[in-house]
Amino acid sequence: MTTNHQIIFKARPEGWVTPDCFEMREVPLVEPAEGEVLVRTIYMSMDPSMRGRMDAAKSYAPGWVLGEPCKTRLVGEVTASRHADFQQGDLVFGKVLDWADYSCVPGKAIRKINPAATGLPLSYHLGALGMPGMTAWVGLDLADPKEGETLFVSAASGAVGQIVGQIAKMKGLHVVGSAGTDAKVDYLTGELGFAAAFNYRTAGDDILGALQKTAPQGLDVYFDNVGGRVLEAALDHANQRARVVICGMISQYNLSREDTPGIRNLPHINRKRIRMEGFIVSDHEDRRAEFEAEMIAWLKSGAITYRVDVAEGLENAPAAMIAMLKGENFGKQVVHVGAEP
Amino acid sequence: MTAINRQIVLKSRAVGWVTPDNFEMREVALPEIGEGDVLVRALYMSLDPYMRSRIGTDRPPADRIPLGGPMEARVVGCVAASRHPDFREGDQVFGSLDWADYSVAAGGKGLRPLPDARQGGKPVPLAWHLGALGMPGMTAWIGMQVAQPKSGETLFVSAASGAVGQIVGQIAKLMGLRAVGSAGTDAKVAFLTGDLGFDAAFNYKTAAPDILSALRDGAPDGLDIYFDNVGGALLEAALDAANLRARIIACGMISQYNLAREETPGVRNLTHINRKRIRMQGIGIGDHDHRQAEFLEEMSGWLASGQVTYRVDVCDGLENAPAAFVAMLKGENFGKQVVKVGSDF
C-alpha cells in the first residue's frame, strides 16, 4: 500500500461540531525516518476532551492544527520501524496519533501493549484499561469514598461512568447513575448492578426530583461528566461535606459563554462545605502500573464489565465524534479503522 | 438594671432583598435567671452576611430563625448577673446571643471570656473580638490554611475591605504572596493599597462589565488562590484568570443571597475547574472549633506587632441594626459591620 487516508482538521467549530469541520485527504504513505515508527491504526478512540482540541483557547493539551490531521489515542500495529525498541508486528498504543490509516511517529510517542497476556479485547486499551478507566479510578480515589455513602455519576454508561459506578459498588457505596436513553438506564441497573438510575432527558426540568427518588439519603459523592443542569441538581441534593469530582462537562463544550445557562446555586459549596475538584488523569501517570494491575484483575474476574460502541471505518470518524458529543453512543466510543492482526 | 429588655425579632421571612420591615423591635420583661445561667448586657453585636440564609428559605427549617423569634448574633457584652461559677458581674464576655439589650446564656453555654489582645500596648477595641479575633478572623485564617498558599503566588480576595477580606489579604502579605483585592468604592480600594498594603486593588463596580481586565491588570501572572466572598460575576472572572491547580476558597457568595434561583445569573465557565484542575472548597469554621486557641494566639501576635490591623464600621443603637444589616448586604459598610448596643462601662 502506498497511500494513506487522513482526516484533516479543516475548520474550527462555532458551537456544535459539524461534518464540515473535517475533511478526508489521501496522501502518499511516508517511510519512517531514523528513530521513527510507522503505525497502522486498528482502533481509534473518540473522547469528549477532543472537543477542547478544536478551540483556539489554550487547554491542558495542545490544540489541533488547522490543515493537519486530527489527533487521538489509538491502538495499532507497527508496519515499519527504524527505532530499536519496536519491530514490525508489535502492537502499540499512542496518545497523539493521527486520525488516519497510518501514523508515522517518533518511537517515544508510542508504547507496546500485550493484549495476548490478558486475553482482553484490544479496544479495552482505549477504554477500561486506558485513559477513561484510569480517569475513573483516579477520580474516585480523589473523592475519598466511604462504604455506605451514596455516589451519583452522570453519563454513567459512557467511557468513564461505567467504571466509576462499578468500582464504587465494589467499595460498598449506594450507586446511582444518569444516562440519556431508557436502554442505557436498563443497562446500568441490569448488567452493571447500579442501585438506581434515571433518564435525565425524560426527567426534564425535574432532575432534582429524579435524584431525590433514586438517592433519598442525599449525595456524598458526585462524579460529574456533564456539568450544567445535572450539576446544579447534584449540588441541591448534596449532603454536608460532599465531594464533587469534575471529570468533564460535556453538556458545556459546544456552547459559547453567552449561550451557557450558568450554575446558579454555588452558595451550596460554602454552606455544605463541599469540595469540588477538577483533575486530569495525566497528572497521575506515576500510578499507571498500580491501576493496570488492579483493573486487569477486575476485568478478568468479571468484577468489572465494559461496553464498547464501535463505529466502522475511518471515514465515519467525524460522524462518530459528533454523535458521541450528543450522547448517541452507547458505551465507550471507538472507531474500527483497520483489521486486527 | 432596667426591667425592660428590647429585642429585635424576625417578623417575616425574607424573599429576594431583605428590608428593615422583615424585622420588628419588641419590648419584653427582663428575664429572671435560673441556677447556672448568665445574663449578658450587649455592648457590640456582629452583623454577618451568612445571617441572610437563616432568615430565608435556603436552609433546612431547623437552621432557620423562627418567625417571631429573636434574631441571633455573635455579641461582646458585659455580665449583668450570674448564677454560674465561672462568670461574675462585670466580666466582659463573648457569646452567641440575641439581637437585644440583654440575653440569657442558659448554663453559660457558648460564653467565653475575651482574650487579652493588644495593639500598641493598649487593649484592642472591643468590636475587634467580633472581627479580627472572632468568627471572620478565624474564617480568614482557616481558609488561608485550606488554600495552601506558597510564597510568590498570587491571591485575589473579593469584598477585600470587609470583615474577612481584610484579614485574608494581610495574612497573604505576611506569607509572601501578591495580594489583589476588589471592593465596591474607590475609598475602599485606596484603603486596601494604602493602609493594608495590598499590591493591587480595583473597584468592581466601575470595572464592570470587564472585571476580567481589571483582574489581569492587578494579577498579571494569573491567580493561584481566589478567596471568594461574593460569587457571581467575580467568581466567573476569577475562574477565567485562574492558573493551573488554583485553589478557590468558597467562603461566601454575598452577591447571590438576595436573588431567587430564576433571577441568578449563573456561573458559566465551570469547565475551567476540570481543565485547570482547580480545587474549590467550601469552608465553615464550625468544623475547626478545636483550633480556636491556636488561632487566637497567632492572631493576637499579629495584632500586637501591628502586622495585622482591622477596620470596623460601627452603627450606633440596637434599633438601627435592621437597616445596618440591609446596608451591609448591599456593600454599604466600610470594614467589619458591628452595632453598638450599650456603653462599654
**More confident call, B266 vs A254:** B266
Reported as a pLDDT band with limits 50, 70 and 90, residue A227 is very high
Residue B59: per-residue pLDDT: 83
Cβ distance of A271 and B269 shorter than 8 Å: no
φ, ψ (nearest 5 deg) of residue A312: -95, 125
Mean pLDDT computed over A85-112: 97
- Flag whether pLDDT at B94 surpasses 90: yes
φ, ψ (nearest 5 deg) of residue A294: -70, -45
Q: Distance from A269 to chain B by nearest Cα, in Å?
A: 5
ipTM associated with this complex: 0.90
Per 3-state DSSP, chain B is made up of helix, strand and coil in percentages (nearest 5) of 35, 30, 40
Spell out a b/e string for B83-96, using b for 16 or more CB atoms within 10 Å of the CB, else e. Answer: ebeebeeebbbbbe
The 3-class secondary structure across B206-269, one letter per residue, is HHCCCHHHHHHHHCCCCEEEEEECCCHHHHHHHHHHEEEEEEEEECCCHHHCCCCHHHCCCECC
Residue A6: per-residue pLDDT: 98
Residue B345: per-residue pLDDT: 55
Residue B286: per-residue pLDDT: 86
Q: Rounded to an integer, what distance in angstroms lies between the CA atom of residue A200 and that of residue A181? A: 8
Mean pLDDT computed over B322-345: 93
| Residue A145 CB-half CA count within 13 A | 31
Q: Are B145 and B165 in contact (CB under 8 A)?
A: no
Cβ distance of B280 and A276 shorter than 8 Å: yes
Reported as a pLDDT band with limits 50, 70 and 90, residue B190 is very high
Q: Are A139 and A279 in contact (CB under 8 A)?
A: yes
Mean pLDDT computed over A76-90: 97
Query: How many beta-carbon pairs below 8 A join chains A and B?
Result: 111
Interface test with A, best of B146, B227, B240, B271 (most A CBs within 10 A): B271
Cβ distance of B271 and A269 shorter than 8 Å: no
Interface test with B, best of A225, A246, A257, A284 (most B CBs within 10 A): A246
- Flag whether pLDDT at B1 surpasses 60: no
Residue A29: per-residue pLDDT: 96
Q: Residue with C-alpha cell 464600621?
A: B313
- Flag whether pLDDT at B87 surpasses 60: yes
Cβ distance of A267 and B59 shorter than 8 Å: no
Nearest to B268 among A257, A270, A280 (CB): A257
Residue A255: per-residue pLDDT: 87
Residue A59: per-residue pLDDT: 66
Cβ distance of B287 and A273 shorter than 8 Å: yes
Model confidence over A32-74: pLDDT tens digits? 999 999 999 999 999 998 998 999 876 667 899 999 999 999 9
Residue B332: per-residue pLDDT: 95
Residue A233: per-residue pLDDT: 98
Crossing angle, helix A288-301 and helix A131-142, to 10 degrees?
100
Query: Measuring CA to CA, which residue among B299, B154, B277, B150 is closest to residue B227?
Result: B154
Question: Which chain B residues are within 8 Å of A59, Cβ to Cβ?
Answer: 275
Cβ distance of B270 and A272 shorter than 8 Å: no
Mean pLDDT computed over A289-318: 97
CA A192 and chain centroid, separation: 18
Cβ distance of A277 and B251 shorter than 8 Å: no
Lowest mean pLDDT among A158-167, A297-306, B283-292: B283-292
Interface test with B, best of A266, A277, A283 (most B CBs within 10 A): A266
Nearest to A269 among B268, B275, B280 (CB): B280
**More confident call, A58 vs A171:** A171
φ, ψ (nearest 5 deg) of residue B146: -65, -30
Model confidence over B24-33: pLDDT tens digits? 999 999 988 9
Asked if B276 has any chain A CB less than 8 Å from its own CB, the reply is: yes
- Flag whether pLDDT at B215 surpasses 70: yes
Average pLDDT, chain B: 95
Instruction: Please state the pTM of the whole predicted model.
Output: 0.92
Burial of B209 (0-12, 13-18, 19+ CB in 10 A): exposed
Q: Residue with C-alpha cell 466502522?
A: A312
Q: Distance from B116 to chain A by nearest Cα, in Å?
A: 31
Q: Rounded to an integer, what distance in angstroms lies between the CA atom of residue B125 and that of residue B299? A: 14
Mean pLDDT computed over B192-204: 98
Interface test with A, best of B274, B283, B285 (most A CBs within 10 A): B274
Q: Are A308 and A336 in contact (CB under 8 A)?
A: no
Rg (CA), chain B: 20
Mean pLDDT computed over A110-125: 94
Mean pLDDT computed over B49-70: 91
Extract the C-alpha cell encoding A288: 499507571
Question: Which chain A residues are within 8 Å of B235, Cβ to Cβ?
Answer: 266
User: Could you write out the DSSP letters of every residue in B9-38?
Assistant: EE-S---SS--GGGEEEEEEEPPPP-TT-E
Mean pLDDT computed over B8-33: 95
Mean pLDDT computed over B307-322: 97
Cβ distance of A273 and B282 shorter than 8 Å: yes
Model confidence over A10-19: pLDDT tens digits? 999 988 999 9
